[in-house]
Structure 1
C-alpha cells in the first residue's frame, strides 16, 4: 500500500531536507515546517525558506518550537530535521516523573513523536552524537533510541561522509532513520537479521553501500526508562547500526562507491569579484594555516606549549571541500582559500560557491540576507545530495516497493 508523501520539517533552516527530497520526487508535500533563530531579530533563514517555497505563514511557522502545541501540527508521514548535539540527559522531578534539560531540542522531536506518531522519521546530527558524552560514551544516543523504542519504532543509523559517495564536501554526519513497527516496511523487514539489515537489506545499506561484515557487536538497552539510561548506561556505538525492541546491533561502516566524484573545481565560479581575493599580504593566512608549536600563557599566568598541524594552503581544488563551518569566509584557520580558476590568485569562496558545496542551487541564499549570514547558513546546513539519495529510497518505501533488487 502506498503512502502520501507528506512531510513535517523541524529546524528547517533554509530548507535542506526539502531541497533534497523534492529533487528525488516533486511529489513530496511539506504540510508544516518550523524555523526559529532565537538569537536574531532578523529571521533570514526563515525568509529564505519562504522565498523559495512560498509565504504560507500558517504552514511555515517562525515561532519558538518549544512554545508550539505539538497536537496542532498537521498529520504527516515523514518527520525530518537536523537538530544540535546537546546534553540529552534527564533528571527525576518528583511527582512529575522525568524531565530533559530546558532548551534541548531533542525533546521537541520527542513531543512530536508522542503527539503525532508519524510512520517514518529521518534526522541528522553531528558524528560525535554516537560517542557523547565523553564521561559516559553512548548515553545520549541511547536516550534517543530508547525514546523511539518507547513510541514503537525500530531505528537504523549511519555516519555518512558525503565525499565518500561522490559529493563535493568532506562532511561526516549521523543520520537516523526510524520506522513505526506497524508499517508495511517493518513487515517487509521482518525475519531479517540485524547483520542482514546492516550489510545489505536496510535503508542505509541499500542507499549507501558499505563493506559486508561477518558479524556485528550486539547489546541491549536495559529498558525504556530514560532515567535509568541517563544515569547508568553506556555502549560503544559504531558508525552503522540497528535497534528494534531494545536490541542493539552495530558495526563500523566502510563505504563502497565506484561512481563519479565531484571536486571543488566543479562548483567554482569564473569572473569572481575582486573583494573575495586575499591581496598581496598572505603572511596572516600562512600563519593561520601553518603548523604551530609555540609557548603561550594562560590567563592565570601558566605557560604551556600549543601545537597543531598544518592545513593545505591553498585548498586543493581537485579534491572535495573540507567541512564547511559557520565561520566560513572569516579570517580563521578553517576558512577555505582557493586559487582562482581565471587568475591563479588566492581568494575566498563566494557565497554562491558555498551554496553549491552543500548541494543547493547556485544563489539559493541570495534572498536579502548579508553575505556573512549566507556563509553562516551554509555552515549550519546539511548536504542536500545525501538527502536526495535517501529520498530515492524513500520513494520506494512509500510506494510499497522493495528497496533491494531481490527482496
Structure 2
C-alpha cells in the first residue's frame, strides 16, 4: 500500500480533510493552502488551523505565489476550485498560456511539479457546460491538460440529497488517476466504458446509478485529437453528460440517475429553543420584504445598450418545506435574500432563518465547527462555499480500497 498522503488546495474550513479522515484515521495531510484575496482577516484559514492545529504546512498565502517544487510530495491532491473561464491562447515565444488569475493553471503546475498518482477535485456542475457559446470547452481544456500529463479521469455530477444527505447540493466531482497506477491497469482491461461506469468505476460503489435515461443520444464517445491545448480552447465543443470517463484519451459520457435513497429531510437538523434574533416575523415590514423576495415577479428592465426586456422568476416555497432536504446553500445564506432558507420553527411555528449550526449540519460539519473568531455572517458565508462532508467521507472509503492495491 502506498502512503496515504494528501495535499489540500483551496481548503476553506477543511471539508475535504474532515471527510477523508472520517473514512480512515491514517490519512496524512502533508500540506494545505487557503487564501481569501478579498479579506484582510483570513477567517476560513484561521478556522482550519483552530480545528486541525498549527503547522508549518498549513499555508495562508496566494497559491500563485507558491513555488510549486516546495510543496511536499503527496499521493492524493484534493481541492474545490472556482469555476472560471479556462480559455488559453498562443503567446508567441512564451508558448501556451492560460487566462491570468484562473486557478486551474495553478493546479496543473502543482500536478506537473509533484506528479501525484491520484487527484480528487470538486466544482459546480456548470463547469461541464461552460462557456455558453462553446459548450464543454472549459472541461475539455481540463481533460486535455490531464491527458497530456498522463492521467485518465472519471467524473460524476452528484446531488447530495439523492444519496441520503440533508441538502440538495449538486456538484461535479473529478477523479483523475495516473496511467501507470494499478487502478488504471485494472480499468484498462475492461473493454466497455459502460461497464466501468456502472460496475467498477470510482463513484459506483458509494454512489450507485441505474441505467441511463431513455432518450436519444444519451451516450457519446469521443477521441481527443488536437495540436495543443490552445487548439482545444479554440475549437473543442462537446455535450458532456452528468457522468463519464476519459481513458487513454478517449472520452465517454452518459446521462445517469441514482438508485433512490431515503431522503434526509431538513426538519431532522433543526434546533430547538432557537434565539429570538433568528426570527423574521417580528415586524410586518420585514415579513413583507421576505414575501416579495420569495414570490414570483416580472420586472421591465433596460439593458446598457438600451434594449428593453422583462426579467421574470417563479415563486419559491415560503416557508421551505420541512419534509424535504434543504435547498442548495449560497454564500448569502442567513441574510435577507431570496436564496436564504426560511423555516417554521419546530417549537413555536414562527418563521425564522436557519442558524449557523443548522447551516453546518446541512453540510455535515460538526456543530459549531465555524464558531471561531469570525462573525456570524461569515459563518454562513463559509458554509455557502463548503462541500457536503459526508460525500467526501464516502469517497474516502473507496480511496482506502484503491490505496490498498497500490504498491
Q: If the length of structure 2 is used for normalisation, what is the TM-score?
A: 0.95
User: What secondary structure, in the 3-state scheme, does the structure 2 residue paired with 1:39 have?
Assistant: coil
- Are 2:263 and 2:324, in contact at CA under 8 Å, matched by a contact in 1? no
Deviation at 1:71, TM superposition (A): 0.6
Deviation at 1:368, TM superposition (A): 1.1
- Are 2:136 and 2:239, in contact at CA under 8 Å, matched by a contact in 1? yes
1:213-232 matches, within 5 Å, as 213=212, 216-223=219-226, 225-232=228-235
1:277-288 matches, within 5 Å, as 277-278=279-280, 279-281=282-284, 282-288=287-293
Question: Which blocks of at least 5 consecutive residues in structure 2 are unaligned?
Answer: none
Pick aligned residue for 1:382 from 387, 395, 398: 387
User: What secondary structure, in the 3-state scheme, does the structure 1 residue paired with 2:208 have?
Assistant: coil
Deviation at 1:224, TM superposition (A): 6.6
Cα shift readout 1:66-119 (whole Å, capped 9, x = no counterpart): 011111111111000000110111111111101001110001100011010101
Aligned to 2:11: 12
Pick aligned residue for 1:365 from 364, 370, 380: 370
Aligned to 1:276: 278
Aligned to 2:189: 191
- Are 1:147 and 1:224, in contact at CA under 8 Å, matched by a contact in 2? no
> 2: CA distance between counterparts of 1:297 and 1:150?
46
1:299–1:92 CA distance, 2 compared to 1 (3 A)? closer
Aligned to 1:236: 239
1:109-128 matches, within 5 Å, as 109-128=107-126
1:111–1:302 CA distance, 2 compared to 1 (3 A)? closer
Question: Which blocks of at least 5 consecutive residues in structure 1 are unaligned?
Answer: 402-407
Alignment of 1:391 with 2:396, yes or no, is yes
Deviation at 1:299, TM superposition (A): 6.4
User: What secondary structure, in the 3-state scheme, does the structure 2 residue paired with 1:203 have?
Assistant: coil
Aligned to 2:148: 150
Pick aligned residue for 2:256 from 253, 257, 263: 253
Deviation at 1:300, TM superposition (A): 7.0
> 1: CA distance between counterparts of 2:94 and 2:314?
50
- Are 1:149 and 1:246, in contact at CA under 8 Å, matched by a contact in 2? yes
Pick aligned residue for 2:266 from 243, 264, 271: 264
> 1: CA distance between counterparts of 2:98 and 2:84?
11
User: What secondary structure, in the 3-state scheme, does the structure 1 residue paired with 2:119 have?
Assistant: strand
- Are 1:32 and 1:59, in contact at CA under 8 Å, matched by a contact in 2? yes
1:5-404 matches, within 5 Å, as 5-56=4-55, 58-192=56-190, 193-213=192-212, 216-223=219-226, 225-258=228-261, 260-278=262-280, 279-281=282-284, 282-296=287-301, 303-400=308-405
Which piece of structure 1 moves more, 347-356 or 204-213? 204-213
Deviation at 1:185, TM superposition (A): 1.0
User: What secondary structure, in the 3-state scheme, does the structure 2 residue paired with 1:250 have?
Assistant: strand
1:294–1:101 CA distance, 2 compared to 1 (3 A)? closer
Aligned to 1:405: none
> 1: CA distance between counterparts of 2:134 and 2:307?
30
- Are 1:209 and 1:257, in contact at CA under 8 Å, matched by a contact in 2? no
